[in-house]
Chain A
Amino acid sequence: MKTKQCSAEVFASFGQAAEINCSSKPEFQRSRQLICSSFLVQKSPGIEMPKFQNSSKPGSGPHYVWEYEYYDDDEPVSFDNLTAHRYSVVIGFWVGLALFVIFMFFVLTLLTKTGPPHQENQDAFDRHCRPSSCMVDFRHPQASDNKACSQPLLDESHSLIHCFIHEEETGRTGEGQGQWREAKQCACSGLQQAQAKCKVERDTSFPTHCNIPNFVNSEYSSALGDDDLLLCDQPVPLDSNSLSSNNYHRTM
């Protein structure tokens, strides 16, 4: 079996000695740089650089066209003593790749299915719980369903907004969780009825909003048929101040 061939073509002109070099006249082929590199030739042992002298008489005779293919005289690449199948590297590579991808998929699905919520978030959950608070639904303050909750809310909206701002500044639980914080607040509400309403309102309104640039949707939005992990809608330009003022306007 030959090493990768590098053909050289020499046009012998009258009375000139020419030296054949593999890289002097390479041939244009598909991505030839990546198939035939002179690096390859330098590494191969036993390759001779043939020289020849043009013996034609000066002033007469046709052009000679010589074509040489480079081969290893010692033939180090031999296909005779193969112990395994000749495509074993190819097969091994693809099998390994497939196993890796499948393994990654199973690890990700296992991560989805198992494990209770973490303890530190349980504490944070409790910390936000205030029995008298009722942060129902910041998105639809005009909805008639919210009437039960909106009255006490008006009084507390200021303090709650300050709480929001404080939360953002401390940023303890991570800044990507503004909407999740609202969920916690809703769930911690002392009013059972309002709590149930909170939940329902939150569920239905959640997928329609993306005021925090968030392309990783929860189970709910996936169940509702939105795009999942790779949804990339234009985030509404908000910084922390406008977010709190936005929430503030929604409650009014």
Chain B
Amino acid sequence: KMSKTETPNFFYANETDCREVQIPNEIFFTIAMVSLGENLLVVVAVIRNKNLHSPMYCFICSLALFNTISSLSKTWENIMLVFTNTGHLNSRGDSVLKVDDVMDSLLCMSFIGSIFSFLAIAVDRYVTIFHALRYHNIMTMKRAKAILSAIWAFCGCTGVVMVVFFHNVAIMMCFIILFVFALVLILFLYVHMFLLARHHARKIASLPGSTKHHNLRGALTLTILFGVFIACWSPFFLHLLIIMVCPQNPYCECYRSLFQIHVILLMSHAVIDPAIYAFRSAELRSTFRKMFLYTWAQCVCV
């Protein structure tokens, strides 16, 4: 009846056990810092350049903001974990757990917000293609701001609800269904846009004097966009599904042991996002160049 010393995490350490794969904190830190830097850069560039105050760039800026929030909360969690491991923080303290809850809800909010921002960007591009002449009447700045406010409010509430009611199966199922629905919708929108582009390209190719040129770049871009989205997001969602569906199954256990790798994938999507969405725009790139040159000139002068 005397106090037990701490027991190891895996009591029955079998050779066939799937031990949880631990990723060192440094990797988490690096990815979070890079993602934070990139996305903050995008946000600052969109805010500072008046030419970028259009609905399209507002959605890209919102995506970058959500990624920034997720990077910040991951960085914060890392710092707290470092302090916990070195013994400065009590890992079972009430305040620590409350802070952990806040961080988890911020993370959930930024995840859902990212998904909705992708959707908003896809819908905006869809309207650009299929209602090109009425685009500026359909997608006014006022409407874009209303859409963004709705997205942020919904994501804030959902983040809090999800963390508070995490044990509820229905909430988890809602999250997963939302992800699948967003995936299917984004796929549909982009494939439809691609089909129209192909249709136009073929019409140009059929005109006399035109050169026949197989354009693989559209297909490649679309595949990269969608492939990266799926590869980074679906392992995490499969993890959530597996927690609910087969917690006892040894195969599922082995999948769940890779949880930290799946979180790394999720964070790396926040790193890749600016390259796919924001840095493709020539206007944004020139804004970055000007910002860097200005900062460089200031540093040199001072």
Contact = CB atoms under 8 A, between A and B. Distances in A.
Q: Are both chains from one complex?
A: yes
Contacts of B252: 89
Contacts of A228: 215, 217-218, 221
Interface stretch (B146-154, B190-198, B294-302): B190-198
A200 B207 CA distance: 11
Nearest to B195: A111
Contacts of B9: 5, 69
Nearest to B260: A30
B130 interface: yes
B219 interface: yes
Nearest to B56: A232
Interface string A1-30: 111110001000000000000000111111
A44 B133 contact: no
Interface stretch (B37-45, B61-69, B112-120, B163-171): B163-171
Nearest to B206: A117
Contacts of A29: 81, 91
A79 B200 contact: no
A230 B163 CA distance: 35
Interface in A201-252: 203, 212-216, 218-220, 222-223, 227-235, 237-240, 243
Interface residues on A, range: 35 or more
Of B217, B219, B281, which is in contact with the most chain A CB atoms at under 10 Å from its CB?
A: B219
Contacts of A115: 202
A101 B223 contact: yes
Interface stretch (A126-134, A141-149, A152-160, A175-183): A175-183
B102 to A, nearest CB: 12
B196 A176 contact: yes
A86 B136 CA distance: 55
Contact of A88 (B199, B219, B251, B276): B251
Task: Count chain B CB atoms within 10 A of each CB in A116, A177, A219 and give the residue with the most.
Answer: A219
B3 A64 contact: yes
Contact of B194 (A35, A93, A108, A243): A108
B227 to A, nearest CB: 4
A85 to B, nearest CB: 9
Given A101-B227, A199-B210, A233-B281, A9 B92 contact: yes
A239 B137 contact: yes
B209 A196 contact: yes
Nearest to B193: A216
Interface residues of B, number: 114
Q: Would you call the interface of chain B mostly helix, strand, loop, or mixed? A: helix
Interface core residue of B104, B169, B216, B260 (most chain A CB under 10 Å):
B216
A84 B255 CA distance: 14
B206 A183 contact: no
A93 B17 CA distance: 20
A113 interface: yes
B250 A101 contact: no
B26 to A, nearest CB: 14
Contact of B250 (A64, A79, A105, A178): A79
Nearest to A236: B136
A44 B247 contact: yes
Contacts of B123: none
A31 interface: yes
Contacts of A119: none
B59 to A, nearest CB: 10
B91 A27 contact: yes
Given A38-B167, A176-B196, A219-B201, A67 B4 contact: yes
Contacts of A69: 7, 9, 11
Given A40-B243, A176-B196, A187 B207 contact: yes
B132 A213 contact: yes
Contacts of B34: none
A121 B203 contact: yes
A95 interface: no
A23 to B, nearest CB: 8
Contacts of B176: none
| 6 smallest beta-carbon distances between A and B, as pairs | A108-B219, A79-B16, A216-B197, A176-B132, A101-B227, A105-B223
Interface of A: 1-5, 9, 25-35, 37-40, 42-44, 55, 64-67, 69, 71, 75-80, 82, 84, 86-90, 93, 97, 100-101, 104-105, 108-109, 111-113, 115-118, 121, 168, 174-178, 180, 183, 187, 195-196, 199-200, 203, 212-216, 218-220, 222-223, 227-235, 237-240, 243
Given A30-B81, A176-B131, A238-B136, 13 more contacts: A1-B14, A2-B12, A28-B92, A30-B77, A33-B104, A86-B250, A118-B199, A174-B130, A176-B132, A230-B225, A232-B60, A235-B136, A239-B133
8 contacts: A4-B247, A31-B107, A33-B163, A69-B11, A79-B17, A86-B254, A100-B230, A222-B218
